[in-house]
């Protein structure tokens, strides 16, 4: 049995209602140090934005380092859960020690997945544009509708592949930092665990959609709170699914 199967087998299937409880438990964890969690979120957002503006390498660096920041977030969440005092430096905890390289490799694998998805969806998009051009030039309604169908297929494919990638990503940083799981095995185990718990994740997703809409209404200011709480749901769901007890 390989590492991914072993770790994935340890993941338990939880009740569907846990998808709602993850939000309430994440909120309780957030409330223990709300100001600093908000600072965490703002600092992470600014760092990613600044890196993305650096020509050529900035976006690449942001993609590769995001799992490293998320690993630090997981460690910070456990620290607060155990009664510790949150510090801004905790966000950078995984930039030292033996966790750095595996988390960067997770970023490399995720970036490769994004590139593949972008290529596939892009090719469908190019086909749709070409079809529309041909349909317009020949005034063919059939060609135009076929092109529109291809464009809709590209959007649907992007959505499905994005969800699958999110399933592989969700638990991966926590598995690396808490269990020393190898990067590829962490992605596989995360996907398997997410698939086993598809019902609670669907409920989680419905709440997230509503919360995202509400957070976006006041000039997007609600995201200052929603972002850190969402990341904390990753921690409490990991605790629930892999450690067998939510915070």
Residue 235 lies in a domain: yes
pLDDT for the residue 119: 79
Could you tell me if 104 and 67 are in contact, meaning their C-beta atoms sit under 8 angstroms apart? yes
DSSP state of 94: G
**Helical H segments across 87-222, by residue range:** 100-138, 141-170, 172-179, 183-196, 198-216
Residue 88 lies in a domain: yes
DSSP state of 33: T
**Per-10-residue mean pLDDT for the chain, 247 residues long?**
58 94 97 95 93 84 94 96 92 93 95 84 61 50 61 78 92 96 96 96 96 91 95 97 67
Where in the sequence is the domain holding 237, given as residue range(s)?
A: 14-242
pTM of structure? 0.84
Residue 2 lies in a domain: no
Query: Domain total for the chain?
Result: 1
Residue 217 lies in a domain: yes
Residue 209 lies in a domain: yes
Residue 122 lies in a domain: yes
Closest alpha carbon to 227 in 52, 34, 78, 71: 34
Segment (H or E) for 40: helix 34-52
Residue 8 lies in a domain: no
Residue 7 lies in a domain: no
pLDDT for the residue 97: 87
Which residues lie below 8 Å from residue 242, measured CB to CB, with a gap of 6+?
Answer: 10, 11, 12, 171, 174, 175, 179, 193
Which position has the token pair 């309780």?
28
């Amino acid at each position: 049995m390989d590492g991914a199967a072993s770790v994935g087998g340890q993941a338990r299937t939880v009740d569907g209602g846990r998808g709602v409880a993850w939000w309430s438990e994440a909120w309780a964890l957030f409330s223990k140090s709300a100001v600093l969690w908000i600072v965490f979120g703002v600092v992470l957002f600014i760092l990613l934005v600044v890196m993305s503006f650096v020509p050529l390498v900035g976006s690449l660096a942001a993609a590769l380092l995001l799992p490293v920041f998320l690993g630090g977030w997981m460690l910070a969440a456990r620290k607060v859960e155990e009664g510790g005092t949150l510090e801004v430096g905790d966000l950078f905890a995984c930039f030292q020690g033996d966790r750095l390289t595996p988390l960067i490799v997770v970023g490399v694998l995720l970036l490769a997945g994004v590139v593949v998805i972008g290529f596939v969806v892009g090719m469908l998009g190019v086909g749709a544009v070409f079809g529309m051009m041909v349909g317009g030039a020949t005034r063919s309604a059939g060609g135009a509708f076929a092109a529109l169908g291809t464009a809709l297929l590209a959007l649907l494919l992007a959505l499905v592949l994005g969800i699958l990638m999110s399933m592989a990503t969700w638990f991966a940083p926590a598995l690396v930092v808490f269990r020393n799981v190898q990067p590829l095995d962490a992605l596989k185990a995360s996907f398997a665990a997410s698939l086993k718990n598809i019902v609670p994740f669907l409920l989680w997703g419905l709440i997230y959609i509503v919360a995202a809409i509400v957070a976006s209404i006041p000039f997007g200011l609600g995201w200052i709170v929603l972002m850190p709480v969402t990341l904390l749901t990753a921690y409490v769901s990991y605790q629930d699914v892999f450690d067998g007890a939510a915070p």
